[in-house]
Amino acid sequence: MASSENTMKNMSCNDTIDEFRSQVYPVTYSIISILGFVGNGFVLCVLIRTYQEKTAFQIYMFNLAIADLLFVCTLPLRVVYYHYKGNWFFGDFLCRISSYAMYVNLYCSILFMTAMSFFRCIAIVFPIWNIQFISRKRAIMVCVGIWFFVTLTTTPFLQKNGQLSDENITKCFEPPKSKDVKKVMVLHYISLFIGFIFPFITITICYAMILNKLLKNSMHKKEGTRRKAIWMIVIVTVVFLVSFTPYHVQRTVHLHLMKDKTSCEKSLYMQKSVVITYSLAAFNCCFNPLLYYFSGGNFRRRLSTFQRGSISSSHHRKMSSKMEEAMNGNGVEHKTCILEAAGTPSKQMPI
């Protein structure tokens, strides 16, 4: 009797969390897909069109946009999955890739932001080092190193495959089973310290040094340099506080609670907090275009160059079309005059 009551309790727990996830995830992931694709796609287009002017900072922004777009491309699959209340239709391979893409985007974003903050700190606080230390070649090497490190260290998430539930429904993105919790906790603490705590400490130190320098030399620094540095501090801090911090804190608490048997109510509460913090973490790719626009080196000038280029190319096409029409018209008149001079009616002679 007690066993059947527990079964009914667990079923009601699962039904409730599936209902909650099917209400929240499709909406949030749809919004993130649209904003992330439009914002990062546009920024990437501008950076590609103005690649002649690329700087070290633009190289970091380019790679950040690539990481965001790769993740955004997997979100429609998640929308469909949660819309159908946790039924995966796309096969085991795409289930693994979708899980993997989330963690690659998350930690690539954190490390690219850390690299940008560090080199911006060098440029402002140690301007003499800036000439030798910051270069496009060095930026490319750092980006390649970040991609290699993140894609390699997150490969265990490729092993997380789809599961067949008791109702003969294929599941994906589900919490680990109790037997796998210890393994997941090891991966969690590695990613927590290397992928979040260390970058967060680095960024905090860099921003403290930048603010200190700007306050001391407020009259000597250019207004543009000050504005870009302050915008970068504000945006990156907001992204860390809104997207990255709640996710890592919640994940730590949740994994510790999973080791012990908890009540249905507490388990449900934790599952709902997973939904909220996971959605906030995914929103980081919508904040990044703001970083490009407000803090990117001369990004607004690049944008105006891109617009001028588009207008001038359109104008050039129109002028070419008009010149071609004029030339064709002149050719017809010229041929007509020759025919009339020869005494032959022009309408009888096809041109």
Weakest mean pLDDT among 145-149, 294-298, 319-323:
319-323
pLDDT tens readout for residues 274-318: 999 999 999 999 998 888 888 765 655 656 665 565 554 444 444
The answer to whether residue 220 scores a pLDDT higher than 90 is no
Q: For residue 267, name the pLDDT band (cuts at 50, 70, 90).
A: confident
Share of the chain above pLDDT 70, in %: 75
Whether 96 shows a pLDDT value over 70: the answer reads yes
Global model pTM greater than 0.75 = yes
Residue 100 predicted with pLDDT over 90: yes
Q: What pLDDT band is residue 331 in, cutting at 50, 70 and 90?
A: very low
Region 95-103: mean pLDDT is 92
pLDDT at 9: 45
Question: What is the arithmetic mean of pLDDT over 215-219?
Answer: 72
**Token representation of residue 242:** 């809104």
User: pLDDT exceeding 90 applies to what percent of the chain?
Assistant: 43
d(C-alpha 195, C-alpha 218), whole Å: 34
pLDDT tens sequence across 80-90: 999 998 889 99
Residue 15 pLDDT level (bands cut at 50, 70, 90): low
pLDDT of residue 308: 60
Average pLDDT on 172-180 reads 79
CA 224 to chain centroid, in Å, comes to 26
Do 40 and 292 form a contact (C-beta atoms < 8 A)? no
pLDDT of residue 321: 44
Average pLDDT of the chain is 80
Min mean pLDDT across 59-63, 150-154, 278-282, 338-342 is at 338-342
pLDDT in tens, 31-89: 999 999 999 999 899 888 877 767 888 899 999 999 999 999 999 999 999 999 888 99
Query: Which helix (DSSP H) or strand (DSSP E) does residue 120 occupy?
Result: helix 91-125
Domains present along the chain, CATH in parentheses: 18-297 (1.20.1070.10)
Average pLDDT over residues 238-266: 87
> In this predicted structure, which of 91-95, 113-117, 205-209, 324-328 has the lowest mean pLDDT?
324-328
**How many other CB atoms sit within 10 Å of the CB of residue 251?**
21
Predicted local distance difference test score (pLDDT) of residue 160: 67
* Nearest CA among 10, 9, 29, 19 for reference residue 85: 19
| Sequential DSSP letters for 281-325 | HHTHHHHHHHHHHHHSTTHHHHHHHHHHHHHHHHHHHHHHHHHHH
Handedness of CA 323, 324, 326, 331 (dihedral sign): positive
Q: What is the rounded end-to-end Cα distance, in angstroms, of the chain? A: 97
Does the pLDDT at position 327 exceed 60?
no
The 3-state DSSP class for residue 86 equals: coil
Nearest 5°: CA angle at 72, between 70 and 73? 65
Q: Is 50 helix (H, G, I), strand (E, B) or coil?
A: coil
Q: Which of 69-78, 149-158, 169-178, 296-305 has the highest mean pLDDT?
A: 69-78
